[in-house]
Amino acid sequence: MYGRTKGRRLSKKQKLFLRNHGKDLIFDDGKMEEFLHETFRPEENIFDNKKVYLEIGFGSGEHLGHKAERHKESKFIGCDYYLNGIASAVIKITEKELSNVRLFNGDAIKLLNKIPNKSLYEVYLLYPDPWPKFRHLKRRFISDQNLRLLASKLIDGGALKVVTDSDIYFTHIKSVVLTQKISKIFSFKGPDFSQPWKDWYSTKYEEKAKKAGRRSYYMVLKKIIVNSHI
């Protein structure tokens, strides 16, 4: 975990919503087993017949809230460790009266390690911290190891959707995805990644990128094989 967990002081509204609704919406390491059991019902192995989406690093939750509102029949898990963002997401979820979203306050890798294999329909990683300096390469979320972990958690045919406005991170992602091993697990189609997918919904960081005149790369990595050896 490399980013900040707290920023400026929480507003009165953020504090109020965290206090009143946080315990119903947020789970942490301590409650993870219980939450995952309720969500995935491993003994029945049917995942409640609902699609489960995961958004890693949801920021203030605009994309997460929008998707959950559009797909009330599905379940959404958001994961972030930035408290101010979590509080903003709690406000959005509560005001939209969404009952199909839960937030994990912690590191995505910890959560992913506990999620049952082949259970996620889609995973979103939108504007992940690019860590552009070479000496911070290891901090980038997209790595060979993390892609294999993500693939093992996606259902067959599921997808990882990634957006970045960093040329350096885009080049990095391509270099990882196009290795022999990973290209057998994920298909990665261009042609130039300049167009968002059909139901794309903008995020705060996309707005920042647009204002600064940076282009974004929209990447869909579709899981292509059933893999027992991932």
Ligand X SMILES: C[S@@+](CC[C@H](N)C(=O)[O-])C[C@H]1O[C@@H](n2cnc3c(N)ncnc32)[C@H](O)[C@@H]1O
Q: Which residues bind ligand X (CB under 6 A)?
A: 1, 3, 56-59, 79-82, 85, 107-108, 126-129, 203-205
Please, what is the minimum distance in Å from the beta carbon of residue 196 to ligand X? 12
Cross-strand bridge partners of residue 227 = none
Q: Which is nearer to ligand X, 59 or 65 (CB)?
A: 59
Q: Which is nearer to ligand X, 83 or 224 (CB)?
A: 83
CB 208 within 8 A of CB 129: no
Please, what is the minimum distance in Å from the beta carbon of residue 55 to ligand X? 7
Please, what is the minimum distance in Å from the beta carbon of residue 157 to ligand X? 24
CA distance 87 to 69: 18
Task: Choose, from 28, 129, 144, 156, the residue flagged as catalytic.
Answer: 129
Say which residues have a Cβ less than 8 Å from residue 68's Cβ, sequence separation at least 6.
Answer: 74, 76, 93, 96, 98, 100, 101
Is there a catalytic annotation at residue 129?
Answer: yes
Helix/strand number for the chain, H first, E second: 9, 8
Q: Which is nearer to ligand X, 50 or 204 (CB)?
A: 204
Give the pairing of strands 52-56 and 101-105.
unpaired
Which active-site residues does the annotation give?
129
